Amino acid sequence: MKKLFLVLVPLLFCGVSFSQTPEEMKAWQENMTPSKYHKWLASMNGEWDAVVKMWMAPSQPPNISKATTINEMIMNGLYLRSTHTGKMMEQPFMGESIMGYDNAKKEFISTWIDNFGSSIMLLKGYLKEDNTLILEGNMLDPASEQEMHVKEVLTILSEDSHKFDMYMIVDEQEIKTMEIQYTRKK
């Protein structure tokens, strides 16, 4: 009871009210209802084989590896969780992203974490009319301790394949650092 009191009293003094008008309730309902963009994300549900090409320098050939991705819609169809496993630079690799469409902000938002670093990458973007998702954000380069501008492009090629491209933006030039070709497992 004491804990409940400690939570409720500050809320009362801050003027927080839990009653809402019908318009406010409608806005909340619309925000929590999956949209056409969530259905677009759901088209990637399932298990995927991935061929990963990663460039350490633009003048060098890519490092090529294979991976597996499991995509699943979570939280009543509002978010796509992607779990990635494979090898990168001969090391075991695990990564996970959560991607969703924010109905209120009218934008896609994506996070990325992996076992190659302790930073969390946050990207935001939009879906073009040709079914290409463009996301941009920043990531920390631990070597230089500088933020790096990142662009990701996700293109649906068919029901059973899609492509992911990642670019670093340096002096307003896009430098391709990664390409992943996904094929749905049968």
Q: Which of 16 and 112 is assigned the larger pLDDT? A: 112
Task: Give buried/exposed letters for 13-46 (b at 16+ CB in 10 A, else e).
Answer: eeeeeeeeeeeeeeeeeeeeebbebbebbeebee
- Residue 184 CA neighbour count, 13 Å, CB half: 13
The confidence score (pLDDT) of residue 144 equals 86
Q: Say how far apart CA 121 and CA 112 lie, in whole Å.
A: 5
Task: Name all domains of the chain by residue range, CATH numbers in brackets.
Answer: 36-184 (2.40.128.20)
Place 9 in a pLDDT band, splitting at 50, 70 and 90. low
Average pLDDT, integer, range 38-43: 96
Beta bridge partners of 83: 70, 96
Average pLDDT, integer, range 36-65: 94
Q: Which of 3 and 169 is assigned the larger pLDDT? A: 169
Place 15 in a pLDDT band, splitting at 50, 70 and 90. low
- Given a cut of 70, whether residue 142 has pLDDT beyond it is yes
pTM, two decimals, is 0.84
- Specify burial of residue 71 (Cβ count, 10 A radius: 0-12, 13-18, 19+): buried
Q: Which of 77 and 171 is assigned the larger pLDDT? A: 77
Residue-wise pLDDT for 97-108, tens only, equals 999 999 999 999
Residue-wise pLDDT for 63-116, tens only, equals 999 999 999 999 999 999 999 999 887 889 999 999 999 999 999 999 999 999
